[in-house]
């Protein structure tokens, strides 16, 4: 994961799917599910979705660099750290109902899937984050004296360890097996042997950290993932990492589970539930009031002792017993009026709550925008465009992709381009042996646009082209050739005074294409033309993305930024092609 950055985030079921991009290499997916956990995935399905929370999460973390991951005190809170312009920390709380929280560099909450406003804990935007209260001892801090105290406080070993040490039940059972006991073993039988249990817990932590052997075993609760083979259980499946097993066991459930309700929806549901409870209470009070009125009529016509009995059965408990049937009847009537008044108050309160609930936005089923992931062509990891004549031109992004391009994708019939200055990518025109003069100028323009000419603000620069047999990765005898560099032998064919500018558009497949204007114009309905400018590259990318319109297939900000030259640019042309 190190060396990756957040390229995009999608939502599926209860999980947020983080797509991490390596500058060179395959993308990495992280599944973050507040109900199942967090793990690296190789089986994310091609259809992904986004919601309002996911979009806000994306805004907080897009292009943030992964710097580390940990588990707080080996408890049910995963922590993922990012750095960049501002550091970010993502916390995945697995305690029911589950939550995902983003913290800023000052430890304050910047975004929460569900805000918490309880008396003991608050998770509210702008306030400093406080972790869930933990009454159990961390497995890292278990000692013999602490275990002895647990044994004296509980009746069985299962309760002593499970209630006082922050361990999943499957590991509680494993720790007890290691000392020859079970969850039902009386605690009293181990008094004085607390050190054995403490050592068993410490050994489990050591096994998990220094000698992991991830596996799936069948337990009484069903299939479980263990970080090492447990005692007395049959191993059903093993893998190199816990993530592989989580992928097989939990991914389907995590992607199918409903997303936790938003804070607004939770509030609305609470108001409606309270209003319904008040209406039921009102009906119950009216039923009691009707009974009290009937009892009042019965008490008036009955002897005093019978009237008192009727009054008590109705639930009336005056400070002094009435001295006559009429007094008992009057007490019952007063009780009926009191019940009716309380019923009316409940109805009024219910109506007010329902009115408040109606003003809270309903988000029980967040609108999900389906996004279909397209399998990219090989050249999409490089810079690329298609010439007006229909040939593919592919360029390197850096020294490593230059090496890959020329080492793996260069054919004898291709043509190789380079700018006549230090700091230039190689561009390859596929089937370029039969290139036209116009094609040559198109590829030359792309080459200089993505070279150091852009950052230095040149208005024009020269480029040249050679054939594949003129390009060599072998340094001359006695010389050193840096990685990503090549030796050009023989005659160079120059294309002079090429304009340093680039057009950027989105083709019919939703891909960002960047190259000379005439080539982009032919394949993109809407595009912009840029020239070098002393603006932040991120601001240029935002402006270009905005100019590309609101097409549902519109690329992400990251995809636009990857397509642009290194450095800021100024939009000189905005165009829409009518076809």
Q: Which of 24-28, 37-41, 308-312, 417-421 has the highest mean pLDDT?
A: 417-421
How far, in Å, CA of 146 to CA of 143, rounded? 5
Q: Which of 21-25, 353-357, 392-396 has the highest mean pLDDT?
A: 392-396
Q: What is the pLDDT at residue 366?
A: 44
pLDDT in tens, 205-263: 999 989 899 999 988 778 899 999 998 888 999 998 999 898 888 887 777 665 555 55
DSSP letter (8 states) at residue 128: B
pLDDT in tens, 36-47: 889 988 777 655
How far, in Å, CA of 568 to CA of 549, rounded? 20
Q: What is the pLDDT at residue 484?
A: 64
Q: How do 526-532 and 569-576 pair as beta strands? A: antiparallel
Contacts of 154 (CB under 8 A, 6+ apart): 160, 163, 164, 187
How far, in Å, CA of 137 to CA of 391, rounded? 66
Q: What is the pLDDT at residue 441?
A: 97
pLDDT in tens, 291-320: 888 888 888 888 888 878 877 777 777 767
How far, in Å, CA of 504 to CA of 564, rounded? 8
Task: Tell me the average pLDDT across 156-166.
Answer: 93
Report residue 61 as tokens. Answer: 């973390």
pLDDT in tens, 459-482: 999 999 999 999 988 777 777 777
Contacts of 344 (CB under 8 A, 6+ apart): 282
Q: What is the pLDDT at residue 24?
A: 67
How far, in Å, CA of 418 to CA of 424, rounded? 6
Q: What is the pLDDT at residue 196?
A: 95
What confidence tier does 367 reach under pLDDT thresholds 50, 70, 90? very low
CA distances from 235 to 80, 229, 328, 529, 579 (A): 30, 7, 75, 60, 62
Burial class of residue 180, CB neighbours in 10 A (0-12, 13-18, 19+):
exposed
- By the 8 A CB rule, do 43 and 253 touch? no
- By the 8 A CB rule, do 53 and 11 touch? yes
Task: Tell me the average pLDDT across 407-427.
Answer: 93
For 158-161, the CB contacts below 8 A with 24+ separation are 158/182, 158/183, 158/184, 158/185, 159/183, 159/187, 160/187, 161/197, 161/201
How far, in Å, CA of 172 to CA of 36, rounded? 20
Q: Which residues are bridge partners to 487 per DSSP?
A: 472
Rounded to 10 degrees, what is the CA torsion of 418, 419, 424, 428? -30
Task: Tell me the average pLDDT across 179-203.
Answer: 94
Q: What is the pLDDT at residue 570?
A: 92
- SS3 of 416-447: the string is EEEECCCCCCCEEECCHHHCCHHHHHHHHHHH
User: Has residue 502 got a pLDDT over 50?
Assistant: yes
User: Has residue 156 got a pLDDT over 90?
Assistant: yes
At the fourth CATH level, the homologous superfamily of domain 5-123 is ibrinogen binding protein from staphylococcus aureus domain (2.30.310.10)
Task: Tell me the average pLDDT across 559-564.
Answer: 89
- By the 8 A CB rule, do 441 and 421 touch? no
How far, in Å, CA of 185 to CA of 178, rounded? 13
Q: What is the pLDDT at residue 248?
A: 83
Task: Tell me the average pLDDT across 322-348.
Answer: 88
User: Has residue 483 got a pLDDT over 70?
Assistant: no
Q: What is the pLDDT at residue 467?
A: 95
Name which residue leads in pLDDT, 279 or 42.
279
The model's pTM is 0.49
User: Has residue 93 got a pLDDT over 70?
Assistant: yes
Burial class of residue 292, CB neighbours in 10 A (0-12, 13-18, 19+):
buried
Helical (H) or strand (E) element with 384: strand 383-386
User: Has residue 344 got a pLDDT over 80?
Assistant: yes
Q: Which residue, among 576, 425, 558, has the nearest Cα to 505 in the 3D structure?
A: 576
How high is the mean pLDDT of the chain?
86
How far, in Å, CA of 467 to CA of 149, rounded? 80
Q: Which of 266-280, 282-296, 451-465 has the highest mean pLDDT?
A: 451-465
Q: What is the pLDDT at residue 263?
A: 59
What confidence tier does 275 reach under pLDDT thresholds 50, 70, 90? confident
């Amino acid at each position: 994961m190190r060396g990756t950055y957040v390229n995009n985030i999608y939502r599926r079921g209860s999980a947020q799917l983080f797509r991490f991009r390596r500058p060179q290499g395959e993308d990495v997916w992280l599944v973050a599910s507040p109900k199942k956990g967090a793990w690296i995935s190789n089986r994310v399905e091609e259809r992904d979705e986004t919601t309002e929370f996911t979009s806000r999460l994306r805004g907080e973390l897009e292009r943030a660099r992964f710097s580390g991951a940990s588990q707080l005190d080996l408890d049910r809170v995963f922590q993922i750290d990012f750095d960049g312009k501002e550091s970010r920390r993502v916390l995945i709380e697995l305690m029911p109902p589950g939550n995902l929280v983003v913290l800023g560099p000052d430890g304050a909450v910047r975004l929460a899937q569900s805000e918490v406003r309880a008396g003991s804990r608050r998770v509210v935007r702008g306030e400093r984050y406080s972790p869930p209260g933990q009454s159990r001892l961390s497995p890292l801090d278990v000692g013999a004296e602490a275990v002895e105290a647990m044994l004296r406080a509980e009746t069985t070993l299962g309760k002593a360890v499970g209630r006082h040490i922050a361990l999943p039940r499957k590991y509680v059972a494993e720790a007890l097996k290691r000392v020859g006991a079970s969850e039902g073993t009386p605690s009293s039988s181990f008094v004085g042997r607390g050190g054995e249990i403490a050592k068993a817990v410490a050994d489990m932590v050591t096994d998990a950290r220094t000698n992991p052997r991830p596996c799936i075993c069948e337990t009484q609760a069903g299939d479980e993932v263990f970080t090492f083979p447990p005692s007395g259980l049959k191993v059903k499946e093993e893998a190199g990492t816990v993530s592989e097993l989580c992928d097989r066991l939990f991914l389907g459930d995590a992607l199918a589970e409903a997303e936790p309700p938003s804070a607004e929806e939770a509030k609305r549901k609470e108001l409606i539930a309270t209003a319904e409870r008040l209406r039921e209470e009102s009906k119950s009070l009216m039923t009691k009031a009707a009974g009290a009125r009937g009892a009042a009529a019965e008490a008036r016509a009955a002897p005093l002792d019978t009237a008192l009995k009727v009054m008590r059965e109705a639930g009336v408990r005056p400070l002094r017993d009435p001295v006559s049937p009429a007094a008992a009847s009057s007490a019952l009537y007063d009780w009926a009026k009191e019940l009716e008044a309380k019923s009316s108050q409940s109805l009024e309160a219910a109506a007010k709550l329902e009115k408040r609930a109606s003003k809270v936005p309903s988000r029980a089923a967040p609108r999900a925008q389906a996004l279909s992931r397209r399998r990219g062509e090989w050249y999409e990891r490089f810079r690329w465009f298609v010439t007006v004549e229909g040939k593919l031109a592919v360029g390197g992004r850096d020294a490593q992709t230059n090496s890959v391009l020329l080492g793996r994708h260069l054919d004898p019939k291709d043509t190789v381009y380079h700018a006549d200055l230090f700091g230039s990518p190689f561009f390859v025109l596929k089937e370029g042996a039969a290139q036209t003069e116009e094609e040559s100028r198109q590829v030359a323009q792309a080459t200089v646009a993505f070279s150091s000419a852009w950052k230095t603000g040149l208005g024009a620069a020269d480029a040249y082209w050679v054939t594949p047999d003129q390009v060599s990765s072998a340094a001359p005898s006695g010389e050193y050739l840096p990685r990503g560099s090549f030796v050009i032998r023989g005659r160079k064919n120059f294309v002079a005074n090429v304009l340093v500018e680039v057009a950027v558009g989105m083709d019919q497949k939703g891909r960002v294409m960047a190259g000379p204007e005439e080539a982009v114009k032919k394949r993109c309905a809407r595009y912009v033309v840029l020239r070098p400018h002393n603006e932040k590259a991120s601001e240029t990318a935002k402006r270009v993305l905005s100019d590309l319109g609101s097409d549902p297939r519109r690329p992400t900000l990251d995809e636009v930024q990857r397509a642009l030259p290194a450095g800021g640019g100024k939009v000189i042309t905005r165009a829409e092609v009518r076809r």
